[in-house]
Amino acid sequence: MRIHRQLPIRIGTRGSELALAQAHETRNRLLHAHPVLTAADIDIQVIRTTGDKVQNRPLSEIGGKGLFTKEIEDALLAGTLDLAVHSMKDMPTEFPAGLGIVCLLEREHPGDAFISPKAATIAALPQGAVVGSSSLRRQAILLRERPDLKVVMYRGNVGTRLAKLAAGEVDATLLAAAGLHRLELQSHITSIVPYSQMLPAVAQGAIGIEIALADTEMAELLAPLNHRETEIRVSAERAFLAALDGSCKTPIAALAELNDDGQVLFRGQIIRPDGSETLEAVRTGAPEMAAMLGRDAGEELRQKGGKAFFDAAI
Residues designated as active site: 90
**Contact, 271 vs 137, CB < 8 A?**
yes
H helices of 55-211, where? 59-62, 70-78, 136-145, 158-166, 177-182
- Give the C-alpha distances (Å, rounded to integers) separating 208 from 26, 106, 222: 10, 10, 11
Separation CA 178–CA 109 (nearest Å): 5
Residue 127: how many CA atoms within 13 Å on its side-chain side? 0
Separation CA 62–CA 50 (nearest Å): 9
Residue 241: how many CA atoms within 13 Å on its side-chain side? 31
Q: Could you give the 3-state DSSP secondary structure of residue 310?
A: helix
Number of residues that make up the chain = 314
| Residue 213 CB neighbour total at 10 angstroms | 15
Own/partner contacts of 116-123, CB < 8 Å, gap of 24 or more, are 116/165, 116/171, 116/172, 116/173, 116/190, 117/165, 117/166, 118/171, 118/172, 119/171, 119/172, 119/190, 120/190, 120/191, 121/190, 121/191, 121/193, 122/146, 122/172, 122/193, 122/197
Separation CA 291–CA 8 (nearest Å): 35
Separation CA 200–CA 198 (nearest Å): 6
